[in-house]
Structure 1
Amino acid sequence: MLDRGRLAKRPCMHLCSLRLMSYLQDIWNSLSQVVQSHPWLAPMGAIALTLLTLGRKFITTVAQRVLIKLDAKLDQKADEIADWLVGQLEQLLQQGWGLVFSGFQQRYYKSLVYLLRDYRVQGLKTRGPFVLDLRKVFVPLRVAPESADNITAAMLQPRKVKQGLDIWDFLGANIPSLRRLVILGPPGSGKTTLLEHLTLTYAQHFSRRYHRRTPRLVPVLLYLRDVRGAIITENPPMLAALIEQQASIQALNPPPHWFQTRLKQGKCLVLLDGLDEVADTQQRQQVSHWVAQQIRTYPENRFILTSRPFGYKTAPLEEVSTLEVQPFNLKQMQQFIRSWYLQTEMMSRLGRDDPGVRAIATQQANDLISRIQRNSPLVAMAVNPLLLTMIATIHRYRGALPGRRVELYSEICDVLLGRRQEAKNLPPDSLTAIQKKSVLQVLALNRMRKQVREFTLLQASLLIQEKLTAVTGETLYPDVFLQQIENVSGLIVEKQPGVYEFAHKSFQEYLASVQIKEMNQEFVLIRNIDEPWWEETIRLYAAQGDATYLIQTALNRDAIASLTLAYECLEEALSVHPTVRQHLETTLEQGLESLHPDRFKLAVEVKLNRRLRQLLPIDEHTEIDRDYITCAEYQLFIDESRKAGETRQPRHWETDRFAPGAAHKPIIGVGLNDAEEFCNWLTQRSNNLGDTYLEAGASVFVGDFRIRLPNLTEAKEYPLERGSSGETLFGYWCYAEQHEPVVLSTQGNLIRQYRLSQKMLPLVGIRIVRDYPTRYP
């Protein structure tokens, strides 16, 4: 039924509807008069009038439905515009009120803006010459509550379910239990920057831009490492007094009891940064107890405290909601890099912002994004905001990516083991970053040899004792050293009570490769050339010197895994003998065109193996290919299907094999059923634990991962990177809503399966996605 009443409530919409029906009625009347004037036209007129009657009803129905949908869209837009206007009006009134009645508040807010407007990275050796704008570079962090009970229905909008929650969702929720938040996250996850951005946002009256229901609050930011001394005294000051004791506040000459009044009124957002940076456990517990006392004294205010998990476990708060910082996803990583490069390029040109500057920034940002996405270890590191900033800075000012990843790892270890501690003004220790690194190298190599990541303090202490004594020249207890590494640098983390590991396996692999290089123990890698556990360590070792012997050893194995590794070492090696380089390239490139079944199969399996290792992570569960499946890869599917009595070659092929010289060209002319079967075949042959079964008539896969065709959203958001393919491609298969098969053309157009002509089909290729059903962040 049409909602005529709803149209009637909108005079403009109702008028449009009436006019449309009036025009159709005029046509009806004119045609009736013509028929009456010319009786011989009666038969044709009757048909025309019948068609017009049906057409009038159809057109009227369609028009009214269009108008109703348009009305709904206008309603939604009107609400959004109204919310924005109300927010702007509130900000203007608030600013005007502050100018008239509170000169101090304006001075206080200005001081916060001056203090926090710059984006700061603590301890980075390679720095840019320009300071960036925090508000323009900051990417909102995703946070997840420890308990699902803290998520309200209002938070669970479709957009939020897909993109995750951020801190503004919790600040905008009118729930008493969410007034007291603890945010936990590993080193470099952006906790301090988050609090600084919140403070800056409130000081600039921009909070309603992030969430229209956020309360108007006065931000107060305290770094617990700086106020620790006052808190741990016998008679510590209350919060209002502590705030007013700060030199930055005293310089503003605040009115008496200004902060106390607002705290009693519940109008403050109290941000307490770095509980873990109070190093002494007893003092940390004192600080935690003091924070709990302030929460009880001023219960109507909002409190947010940040900490690394280890520091909070020894000094937890009661009756608070705990949130965990989530790592960057691919979109956040891309957003940060693009914002960072735009600001850097603008500042390098004295603030100039024009299409030329933006084009340069876009080109450089896209280059870095592409380099990261092609390197799985860098993707794993880029989910951490601090490490991503380091990568971007080094890429911009040193050009160290990606060929010499060892330089990047060295720079990051330097920051984590030394300069970041100095930049935060934390107490120094007796070892330099180089000395700490040399001790950790011993531990890393031992864990690689044992093929484990975990270790206890006792195990690690026994392993590093000798090296620790050698570098210190004095007694430093190994357990104390390891806890310092954990607490300050974050290079080691406590996985579970009493069990530790390196923050990421990449660090363990890098440190082990350096140790092997320094100790001249290449034989360790030669002995493990076929072991997947050692692949990354071998690649990092190759990047530090001559990789000839490693590559020759892999070639002699003549196996898929070892040849794949050899090819990757060739790409990263500092040097390789020309004869060995040519031998490897001949084995792989000529193998793809070979008519010898075994040579062809080996070369294609190496290519498929490399493809699956280089998929682009979209999120924690999904990876997408950046290129089309090639003729050589699809040929292996054809060959193995033929043994099962199935014909899978494209219909436009004259034989059952691709044309000579086309091994690297995209496979085209593949029907939907064959494309889906290719994905199933690749899933089964790549996944020993996988299996497919039927449930309610649908094919259900259970296993480590599943290969499938992309959906339309994935295909559009992550376009192919292929340039000139040598083929005129029309598009590739993907799924629209309700699993409808469609073809997405190279121009971005959507073609339904039933509209796909026989001329188009020979130009359709395959792109794949890999899902990890059981993978969690």
Structure 2
Amino acid sequence: MPEEPSKQASIPEQLAEILVKVLKPGGIGLGGGYGLWLLLIEHKVSEAIASTLIGFCFSYAGKLLEPIHKGNQQRLEKAGEVVNKKLDQFGEQAIAKLTSAEDRYFEAQAAECETCSTEGMAKISGIFTPMLEQVFVPLEFDGRMASPGFSRSLEDLERLQASGVSIWDLLARAKRDAIYSEIAILAWGGYGKTTLLRHIAYSLGRNKQPKEVTRYIPVLLLLRKYREILSQETPPSLPELIMQHHIPSLPIADLKMPTDWAKAMLEQGKMLVMLDGFDEVPKAKRPLVARWLNAQRKKYRKSLFILTARPKAYNEQTSSDRIDFNSLLYVRNFNEPQRKAFVEKWYWCQEYYHHGKEDIPAVRKAAQDAADDLLKQINQRQELADLSQNPLLLNMIAMFHRRYPSSKLPKRRVELYQEICVLQLRDRPGARDLETWLTGDNDEYATAQVILQMLALEMMQQKEERVEQAVLLKRLEGYLKAQEESIAPADFLRQIEQISELLVQRESEEFEFSHLSFQEFLAAKEVVRRGEESLLYERFGEDWWKPVILLYAAQVKKPSTLIRTALSQGFKDLADACCQETSKRIDADLQQDLAELNALREAEAEVKTLRYQMLEELLSTQQWKAADKETYRLMITTVGKEEGQWFNREDLENFPCEDLRILDQLWVKYSNGKWGFSVQKRIWQECGSPMEYNDDWEKFGDRVSWLKDGSWIDDLTYDLDKSLSGKFPFGWRFVDAFGGLEWHLFSRAATCEL
């Protein structure tokens, strides 16, 4: 029980005792006024004290505390003097904490996220690192809500989907709808997950969040930093992790918070806890981290949680200790407006800093001219437009364009990665006029890349994203010896880290590639160099190796063997993905090798046949609902997305005619002409070919029974005899909203002459 004030003490003395108890933990911040009131209640202060406080506690107990500094109205002067005397005993530092503790935390968390330090992008001579808010472009999401309350929010979600879900939209709703209090954000590498969390933390730290969003206390935790701590037998609680590890790591020295501050803020629902990189936790340790996180979520239900991960790491959790958040968001590809916004902001920053932070018309014009030139090149070449859908790759393209303004931009992802490696290993040391091993006469930069390739492949084989310095030096010693190089391992590592920055030290005595995608690219290139394609065969089923396999297929001279081997082992989707990679190639050697071209075409045809085998089995046995789900799976993977994601307009407008024709033919065949995309297209045309929501679209909905009694339905009965023509396939309709994008597929069906 809290200690009660002395019954003999005067009212001012009782107030002084209470205020000191409030100040000892570190002062009044968020919720401080409410905590003061609770303390008054706990001490059962007389009605006289309570009535005295009511009038002024809301403004920092203004009329009471002002005598401490300036004096106040005569009727409170005596009480103020008593309180002031008591506070003198407690010390001036405590008074300072009253106003500054949480402000200092906000500032520290914002400061940590202030610069746009994109992972995977090293510093390049003549290219400036902008501040995050100068170049940040909001991400858009596809989403699903897994809560039982989803049905209540369907209309709201569909409205959000029409323009792309914004993270701030969801956080604004979190207080009134618990479905938004836990959000998992999924995307492959380079799609800006970490940057988004940094933006949220920075905005809240500087009080720049949208006005409709509560100013939560942001806590950004990188799981790669704490994965060992959280997977131990007795991991710290979330408050302990914040107080003992997170706060000391922030870039403001001597940031001291009250002992139970984090626990109190979590319990009161004041915190937004952001956990970045679940996929960066080793697979074997993910159940342990999931168990820890689930326990913290259960204990601190009032606070908000955001988790980021690559899709496979989140979706393929098999343990009973798994994470299932209410809201699941997939990051959308960068669209043209986002691409334009980023390039223009990025080039403005480059010119602004290049000209000594002068924002004058000449600087703005130079930035706009450069941005326009880059955007023109991207818009004129579909392969560049495809690359720029990934924010990291768009950043790399911009840096390449800035560094080599007259050069032709790389056409494919593997070419872009290779150009960045050349830039970092050869051109950057030369531009800085550095006398290093990398700028020798014998093309040492190429040897340096080979050594990094050897390291990347071994790290892939060991399933490592980072390696301890002692282990790394031992490996480098072996690689350098194999290449007959005399440079000491420590000197090589120092030059690679400090000059090229392809290897970085994020944690003490621990190194990793600047981005996992560089490790994957270099590993694939090493497999090509060694001619050891068989290394990949036994790893077809491992998600960890999929990016390496695709990057290998994009550059090996004879990819048909890889594709046929994947097919023979039953990995049809992987074989199809490899075909998509090879279809982007215009490699001269490949064009001249007619035998390989023919073998590749035959392999692609075989992929198509086997890939749709499961769908045909389901349709032939009238398992309509399962066939509908399989149709969606085939379609979403055809456009390069993951199961659970939604189609966008571009996906449907450019859907491959051959694949659409195969799907349609199977549905038409086994439904005796009643169902299929060609049937839906014909009905759509009979209704006036609507390309927007109008009476004609509703007429179409009635014709195929998607619209019933004026309401669009999403739970259908699969009955060939009783259903209307054109009712199925239906499950592919993971689009932005009812009456949102479906007509683009029917238009595509017409273009493909189904």
Q: TM-score, normalised by structure 1?
A: 0.48
Say which one has the larger Rg: 1
- Structure scoring higher RCO (CA < 8 A, sep ≥ 6) equals 2
Q: TM-score, normalised by structure 2?
A: 0.49
